[in-house]
Chain A
Amino acid sequence: MPINATSDAQTMSALRRTLSLAAAKQVVSSSNLANLSTPGYKAQEVDFDEALDQQMGSGLSVTDSRHLGGPAGSGSGIATRDAEDNGARRDGNTVQVDRELLNMTRAAGEFARAQTALAAKFRLVRYAINETR
Chain B
Amino acid sequence: MPTLNTAVSVAASALTAERTRIEVAVSNLANAESTKGLDGKPFRRRDVVLTADPVQSFDNALGRASATGVKVSAIVEDTSPARRKYDPSHPDADGEGYVAMPNINPAEEMVDMVGASRAYQANLTAINLIRDLVSRALELGKV
Residues of A with Cβ closer than 8 Å to B?
19-20, 22-24, 26-31, 33-39, 41, 44, 75-78, 80, 97, 100-101, 104-105, 107-108, 111-112, 115, 118-119, 122-123, 126
Contacts and interface: CB of A to CB of B under 8 A. Distances in A.
B113 to A, nearest CB: 12
Interface string B49-77: 01110000011001011111110000000
Interface residues of B, number: 44
Main secondary structure of the interface of B (DSSP, over half): helix
Interface of B: 1, 3-4, 6-8, 10-11, 13-14, 17-18, 21, 50-52, 58-59, 62, 64-70, 115-116, 118-119, 122-123, 125-126, 129-130, 132-133, 136-137, 139-140, 142-143
Contacts of A77: 59, 62, 64-66
Most buried by A among B11, B67, B115: B67
Given A34-B11, A37-B50, A27 B67 contact: yes
B55 to A, nearest CB: 8
Given A19-B137, A35-B70, A101 B64 contact: no
